[in-house]
Amino acid sequence: MSAKTASVTGASPVAEEHDFAALTEIVSGIVESKTPAWWPAAFGVALAMLLICGAMITYLIATGVGVWGLNQPVGWAFDITNFVFWIGIGHAGTLISAVLFLFRQHWRTAINRSAEAMTLIAVMCAGMFPLIHLGRAWLFWFLIPVPNSNAIWPNFRSPLFWDFAAVSTYGTVSLLFWYTGMIPDLATLRDRATTPIKQWLFGIFALGWRGSARHWRHYEMAYLILAGLATPLVLSVHSIVSMDFAMANLPGWHSTIFPPYFVAGAIFSGFAMVITLLVPARELFGLKSVITEHHLNSMCKILLTTSLIVGYAYGVEAFSSWYSGNEFERYGAANRAFGFYGWAYWLTVVCNVFIPQVLWKSSYRIRPWLIFTVSIFVNIGMWFERFVIIVSSLHRDFLPSSWGVFIPTWVDMLQLLGSFGLFLTLFLLFLRFLPMIAMSEVKGISPLAHPHPEAHGRVVEGTPSGARRGEAKGGRS
């Protein structure tokens, strides 16, 4: 069965011509081979953007948050916009890894490792902004509920403290989930290592993995428990982030639709970023037989579904403002669409609602560069959605005497650019030095793991016995 046939029948999203050894060679070869010619150039650009980020943070802390374009009444702008954007990006990793694993969606196996890495890096990017927007960044530890000599305790009723608790929990569980799933593959790289230093490093992080039945049993149990812990986080984390706004009595924010609206938007932007990252990686690393059209098609279906949900939320938000009969809510909705930032609102609608509709055509869902372009527009639209929610609601509050306009400064713009530098730098390091495909999981759903035709449709937990036998000795096939 070819990869294209698999994408149509749904039997297996892995090309049948690849046996276990071939899959190992494909994925391990990315780590073991010479550095591709494009990688140093891409890494250099990303590193330069990261250095800009470091310089802007240093300048901000040394000078104060006045270097941003903040004013009264716009006390939040690019800082919290970037925070919510990056937290949303991280949602796809948890959804692909945990939720789709529990629902036994086999197509997740070729993309979950990269999505998990994306989640961790996005959480790092997101966590940077609440710290630097404090003004006195060196006092960030006041957020931690520990006794201190100043008798300062966090306000447990504050959504900002909920942010700290939710994001730190989310990051910890995501890190454990990513690392646990990578242990069998690290053992494979350990056994294939050609230098003592590589063998030592991979050996330390493989935690003595030998691929025995006892190891697999404990691994599958730990992976299932972590998936169960991570699944509620898909709903809780961005719901809590949305409460930063919904708990405030401000037109445009005070809305009960925000938690599900934010969760759908987070999954939407997260899958868009997965496509943005994996389409070029698929081409550059020659992974078309592993990340097949089946994967592209499935991701596009989720992208289209969440686009419809987000579009519905936009409509409900506007209707609720009108139906409330509240003059402030009505003005807030009208100002969002036709006020000073109306251009950003309509850009959001076009990018998030109208452009993804091209994915209704099935043949378009397997055109890599078309869906890559759509994903770029979605990422732009989702950033502007957060900008519109935050800034357009703040700059026109209840008193016309306190109205103002936010104009970003060069520090705002460079800090946004720098956050992408941090993200791309860490993701490029991941692609180069760690297995970007979960080899053991892909082997588990490959046709060779099921010797009988009727076995193709059965539910598989973890890695089947066929793949285990191939990994039994140190993870090598």
Q: List the chain domain ranges.
A: 3-471
What pTM was computed for the model? 0.88
Q: What's residue 448's pLDDT?
A: 67
Flag the least confident range among 136-140, 259-263, 453-457.
453-457
- pLDDT tens, residue by residue, 81-104: 999 999 999 888 888 888 888 888
- What's the pLDDT band for 6 if we cut at 50, 70, 90? very low
What DSSP letter does each residue of 228-253 carry, written as one string? HHHHHHHHHHHHHHHHHHHTS--TTT
The answer to whether the beta carbons of residues 27 and 437 sit under 8 Å apart is: yes
Neighbours of 197 (CB within 10 A): 8
pLDDT at 15: 53
CA gap 185, 190 in Å, rounded:
9
**Mean pLDDT score across all residues of the chain:** 86
The pLDDT of residue 5 is 40
Confidence of residue 379 (pLDDT cuts 50, 70, 90): very high
Residue 468 scores a pLDDT above 60: no
d(CA 283, CA 372): 12
For residue 148, the model assigns a pLDDT of 65
Residue pair 76/390 in contact by the 8 Å Cβ criterion:
yes
477 pLDDT above the threshold of 60: no
Q: What is the pLDDT of residues 20-33, one digit of tens each?
A: 788 888 888 889 88
**272, 307 Cβ separation under 8 angstroms:** no
Pick the closest to residue 82 from 365, 379, 334 (CA basis): 379
Question: Would you say domain 3-471 falls under CATH 3.30.70.1230?
Answer: no
State yes or no: pLDDT of 176 exceeds 50.
yes
Over residues 67-80, the mean pLDDT reads 90
Q: What is the pLDDT of residue 166?
A: 87
Angle (deg, nearest 10), helices 327-338 and 293-323: 140
